[in-house]
């Protein structure tokens, strides 16, 4: 395995989180890969047992590390310090796409964003079913990593709607239904995963061009996409709100688990301009 980051914190976590990936993979093989058998379709967004299991695995793994961090996790009632020092924070979503996992749809991730000195310096997103890591370090680019290799990734620009490969969080009888229908009818390809961190990483790696949240009030939380946001930015893309303004994530606190916003993630300015024009219909 070739590790790529030079930043001291990013380099350490790049190596250490690859070992975390091994532990998550063992749980996936032992339990998660067949957890959907007998699923009763009663999930409504609450924290479930597997969220807690993965959350505990992450804590236990990081507690053994030499790096001193404070962990803020979606599946904990309050933040916990793990050998706190140097104001390094990890914002963690143990599973983005819990419903997908429970029903056996292979689109869910573990997501970790690293914050230090008033900015996010590293993003790490583990695509659990495919055993693929997306990662970025501030100023050092974005990479896709398998168990054998790491490769630099870049976004793919697109200029017209009929060129776009798009994913979205669907509109439900609101003012964006017309936009949704136009995308379905005219875009090159439409893929819906219901896992925003994964969709954003797919934009970062050139697979998709855009992700739109077309829900009425906004569906995406900062904890869901903080790591993926840095990965996208380091590969050439960006995230904005539906009015075209920059989407910024504040310092990691428990409030990031609750506030929801409607976002648009795009591969380039040309793609962003196409989407904003589309939203004006």
Q: Based on C-alpha coordinates, what's the Rg of the chain?
A: 18
Q: Which domains does the chain have, with CATH numbers?
A: 8-152 (3.30.540.10), 161-279 (3.40.190.80)
Question: The pTM is what?
Answer: 0.92
pLDDT at 219: 82
Q: Cβ(111)–Cβ(92) under 8 Å?
A: yes
Beta-bridge partner residues of 86 = none
Nearest-5° Cα angle at 159, 214 to 166: 35
Known binder of ligand: residue 95? yes
Spatial distance between the Cα atoms of 228 and 9, rounded to a whole number of angstroms: 18
74 a known binding residue? yes
Question: Could you give the dihedral angle defined by the CA atoms of residues 242, 201, 189 and 193, in that order, rounded to the nearest 10 degrees?
Answer: -90
Provide the pLDDT for residue 82: 44
pLDDT of amino acid 43 = 76
Query: What are the start-end ranges of the E strands in 67-181?
Result: 69-73, 80-82, 89-96, 109-116, 119-127, 132-137, 141-145, 150-152, 165-169
Q: Which pLDDT belongs to residue 86?
A: 55
SS3 helix, strand, coil % of the chain, rounded to 5? Answer: 35, 25, 40
Other C-beta atoms closer than 10 Å to the C-beta of 114 total 27
Instruction: Check the annotation: does 23 bind a ligand.
Output: no
- The pLDDT assigned to 154 comes to 98
Give the max Cα distance, the chain: 54
**93 in a known ligand binding site:** yes
Q: What is the pLDDT along the chain (281 residues), one digit of tens a residue?
A: 568 899 999 999 998 998 899 999 999 998 888 888 888 877 776 777 888 889 999 988 888 888 888 888 876 644 454 443 457 999 999 999 989 999 999 999 999 999 998 899 999 999 999 999 999 999 999 999 998 888 999 999 888 999 999 999 988 877 899 999 999 999 999 999 999 999 999 999 999 999 999 988 888 888 889 999 999 999 999 999 999 999 998 787 766 677 788 999 999 999 999 999 998 85
Answer for the pair 244, 238: CB distance below 8 angstroms, yes or no. no
Q: What is the pLDDT of residue 131?
A: 96
Per-residue pLDDT at 207: 97
Q: CB-side exposure of 110: number of CA atoms within 13 Å?
A: 31
The reply to whether 40 sits in an annotated binding site is no
Q: Could you tell me how many residues make up the chain?
A: 281
């Amino acid at each position: 395995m070739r590790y790529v980051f030079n930043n001291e914190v990013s380099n350490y976590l790049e190596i250490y989180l690859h070992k975390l990936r091994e532990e998550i993979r063992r749980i996936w093989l032992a339990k998660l890969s067949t957890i959907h058998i007998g699923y009763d379709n009663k999930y409504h967004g609450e924290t479930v047992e597997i969220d807690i299991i993965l959350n505990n695995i992450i804590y236990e793994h990081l507690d053994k590390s030499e790096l001193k961090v404070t962990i803020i996790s979606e599946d904990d009632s309050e933040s916990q310090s793990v050998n706190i020092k140097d104001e390094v924070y990890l914002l963690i979503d143990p599973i983005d796409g819990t419903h997908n996992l429970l029903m056996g749809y292979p689109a869910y991730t573990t997501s970790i964003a690293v914050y230090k000195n008033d900015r996010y310096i590293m993003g790490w997103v583990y695509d659990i079913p495919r055993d693929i890591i997306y990662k970025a370090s501030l100023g050092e680019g974005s990479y896709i990593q398998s168990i054998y290799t790491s490769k630099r990734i870049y976004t793919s620009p697109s200029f017209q709607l009929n060129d776009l490969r798009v994913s979205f969080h669907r509109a439900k009888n609101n003012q964006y239904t017309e936009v949704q229908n136009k995308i379905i009818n005219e875009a090159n390809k439409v893929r819906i995963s219901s896992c925003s961190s994964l969709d954003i990483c797919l934009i970062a790696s050139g697979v998709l061009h855009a992700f739109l949240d077309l829900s009425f009030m906004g569906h995406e939380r900062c904890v869901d996409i903080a790591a993926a946001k840095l990965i996208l930015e380091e590969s050439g893309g960006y995230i904005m709100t539906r009015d075209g303004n920059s989407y910024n994530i504040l310092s990691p606190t428990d409030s990031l688990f609750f506030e929801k916003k409607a976002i648009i993630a795009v591969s380039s300015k040309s793609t962003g301009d196409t989407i904003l024009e589309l939203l004006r219909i």
